[in-house]
Structure 1
Amino acid sequence: MEITVKDLASLLNGTIEGDPDLRLTRPGKIEEGGAGVITFLGNAKYEPYLYTTSASAVLVNRNFQPKSPIQATLIRVDDVYACIALLLEKFGAPAPKSSGIHPQSIIHPSAKLGQNISIGPLTIIEEDVEIGDNVYIEAQVFIGRGSKIGADCRFLVGVKILHECSIGDRCLFHPGVVIGADGFGFAPQEDGSYKKINQIGTVVVEDDVEIGANSTVDRASIGSTILRRGVKLDNLVQIAHNVEIGENTVIAAQVGIAGSSKIGKNCQIGGQVAVAGHLKVADGTRVQGKSGVASNVKEPNQALFGYPAIDYHQFIRAHTIFKQLPELAKRLHELEKRLSKNED
């Protein structure tokens, strides 16, 4: 794709400081730049690169005030990150087009396929599966019996959707995603062994859900594990049986959510967070990475940090005191010695 600064500014409702006729050919990093590159400044720690970048144009917020001269043309916009999302969509690779059904795929005669479907080699689609229109399925994908797939979905290489799962419209599953494996259910026995509890429930994934590579969503023991509309999971996320994730909640990599917990809508959960089982987390909760949620979060829109997770600002204050503990202990010991002398 090639576009002029003038046309891009018009697309983004931006204002130009510099040459409106420059031709832009690709997005790039501000620290690397290059002729024809359009880049952006969204984080203040990257500002020093703005004054040295060789990029042709840079997106900045309207209220940004430079501290030094800038060689690049600036495009001032209301929201840099929103514009970057649109920009990457414009410059991004085109959506894959249907290439039909590969002869090395295996499709059960009872499966119902929509229009304009692409199915890659070594993909298996079992009996009574229903797939909507404009679905793109890459190689080595497995879709188990009785599963239902909505329209405009994309399943990349190696995705596994086990039996009787339901996937909504416009979902994107990255390589290695597993939907509907057994939940982790075992009953302890008197002799110390564990007996497997059959997991006979399903998984329901609603519309516009994206799941990162090698993430897993376990089927419910009874009922359904549910990912509501607009949920986004990063790579290596584990969602256990009977969990429910509220709409438009985003979860970063290596998060584990234990069985039967209910996460509210519009939550933001940082990387490597652990959520214990059978909990309820209120809408709008934000959990800092590496935290552990061990009790119900009843108040919405809280920011939590720590293990176990507490109010974010309270944790920061407590951590500041924690770093001072050796000095505080030393001072306390000296005070005790002085008090002992005074008592004597």
Structure 2
Amino acid sequence: MFRLEELVARLGGELVGDPATVVRRVATLDQAGEGDLAFLANPKYQSRLRDCRASAVIVAPAARALSDRPLIVTHDPYAYFARVAQLFNPPEAFAPGVHPTASVASPVPSSVSVGAGASIEAGVTLGEGVVIGPGCRVARGASVGARTRLHANVSVYADCVLGADCIVHSGAVIGSDGFGFARERDGSWIKIPQVGRVVVGDDVEIGANTTIDRGALDDTVIGKGVKLDNQIQIGHNVRVGDYTAIAGCVGVAGSTTIGARCMIGGQAGIIGHLSIADDVVVSAGTLVTKSIMKPGVYTANLPVQGHADWVKNFAHLRHLDALVDRIRALEQRLDEHKPE
């Protein structure tokens, strides 16, 4: 638990009300009770402040007069809430050491924790404070930066690089072969060896069962501060710029470059060999089929509708070209019959 004055001393902000007010956890406006610290991040919910039972609330300057409860006033209540939540919920501490059932063929710093059944092959470099969870495999020549944590059953393939302070969730695969094949005349396929690496920057989070393919010749690169949700597919030779966030079930095909500070919505698809500028937002479910050269929000999907309506509308779309041709013919006839 913390007194409000302690939180403000650590995180900044302006304290309004009793500095000795004690809070034990963070909660939503609706669910908060005595001892909770709530937050108002979206002005459209400000009417809920009246009935909020929290001991204190994090608000923006515009909302400081809306409650007589103790307040922490800050320009970004949601970011402040996130920092407070980190204080209340610090990462799990792991005792350093190597589990007796782990297989280790590389030097392990004394501050590193290696879980049951993990495999660390020859030539691996581990930074201080690394946590290798149960069942993980770190293949030959790979590198894991300081304080990075691999949850259970993560696979890091040979020669791949993970930066410092990363979090990789269970089932993620870093450095699997990219989808590279050449086709013979008879229709069979020749596998192209994938000899690049995956290079992941510092402070990256990679969600459960996300896969990042190694480069075919050059490296696949994930910039610093990137956040990847669960079940994302990143193809070979993709480059993702610093601080970009990608939501679940997104597929990014090979050799595409995504800029810095982008946000890619869930189930979006990005085809290969494209360039996406910095500060682009791609809405959920959008299929990106051409490069995006300017910042902005891009959307290409249809809202859900009843099946009968969809069939009718799709039938109209099928005849759209013919309709355009008829309109052009009518316009031409009108032009021909215009009085001189």
TM-score (norm 1): 0.83
For residue 63 of structure 2, give the secondary structure of its aligned residue in structure 1. Answer: coil
What amino acid sits opposite 2:37 in the alignment?
I
CA contact (8 A) 2:213 2:236 kept: yes
Q: Distance in 2 between matches of 1:88 and 1:41?
A: 14
Q: CA deviation digits over 1:203-232, x for unaligned, max 9?
A: 111222111111110011112111122211
1:81 aligns with 2:70: no
In the alignment, which residue of structure 2 is the partner of 1:112?
107
In the alignment, which residue of structure 2 is the partner of 1:251?
246
Q: Distance in 1 between matches of 2:101 and 2:29?
A: 45
Change (3 A) 1:13 1:128: closer
In the alignment, which residue of structure 1 is the partner of 2:49?
50
Q: Distance in 1 between matches of 2:220 and 2:76?
A: 36
For residue 113 of structure 1, give the secondary structure of its aligned residue in structure 2. Answer: coil
In the alignment, which residue of structure 2 is the partner of 1:292?
287
Change (3 A) 1:147 1:50: same
CA contact (8 A) 2:40 2:78 kept: no
CA contact (8 A) 2:125 2:143 kept: yes
Runs of 4+ in structure 1 deviating by more than 2 angstroms, as ranges, are: 5-22, 44-49, 70-75, 112-115, 186-198
Alpha-carbon offset, residue 177 of structure 1: 1.0
Which of 185, 190, 193 is the matching residue for 1:190? Answer: 185
Q: Distance in 2 between matches of 1:106 and 1:166?
A: 20
Alpha-carbon offset, residue 287 of structure 1: 1.2
Identify which range, 229-238 or 94-103, moves more after superposition. 94-103
CA contact (8 A) 2:64 2:73 kept: no
Alpha-carbon offset, residue 140 of structure 1: 0.7
In the alignment, which residue of structure 2 is the partner of 1:265?
260
Q: Distance in 2 between matches of 1:12 and 1:74?
A: 14
Change (3 A) 1:10 1:125: closer
In the alignment, which residue of structure 2 is the partner of 1:201?
196
Which of 98, 117, 123 is the matching residue for 1:122? Answer: 117
In the alignment, which residue of structure 2 is the partner of 1:39?
38
Q: CA deviation digits over 1:256-292, x for unaligned, max 9?
A: 1100111112212111111110111112212111111
What amino acid sits opposite 1:102 in the alignment?
H
Q: Distance in 1 between matches of 2:5 and 2:125?
A: 47
CA contact (8 A) 1:199 1:219 kept: yes
In the alignment, which residue of structure 2 is the partner of 1:225?
220
Cα RMSD, aligned residues only? 2.5
Q: Distance in 1 between matches of 2:91 and 2:215?
A: 37
In the alignment, which residue of structure 2 is the partner of 1:304?
298
Q: Report % sequence identity.
A: 38
TM-score (norm 2): 0.84
For residue 163 of structure 1, give the secondary structure of its aligned residue in structure 2. Answer: coil
Alpha-carbon offset, residue 181 of structure 1: 0.8
1:161 aligns with 2:168: no
Q: Distance in 2 between matches of 1:60 and 1:142?
A: 45
Number of residues paired by the alignment? 309
For residue 97 of structure 2, give the secondary structure of its aligned residue in structure 1. Answer: coil
Which of 85, 94, 100 is the matching residue for 1:97? Answer: 94
What amino acid sits opposite 1:28 in the alignment?
A
Alpha-carbon offset, residue 32 of structure 1: 0.7
CA contact (8 A) 1:205 1:229 kept: yes
Q: CA deviation digits over 1:149-179, x for unaligned, max 9?
A: 2211111111110111111222111111100
Q: Distance in 2 between matches of 1:13 and 1:39?
A: 17
CA contact (8 A) 1:240 1:258 kept: yes
What amino acid sits opposite 1:186 in the alignment?
F
Q: Distance in 1 between matches of 2:33 and 2:124?
A: 49
CA contact (8 A) 2:61 2:73 kept: yes
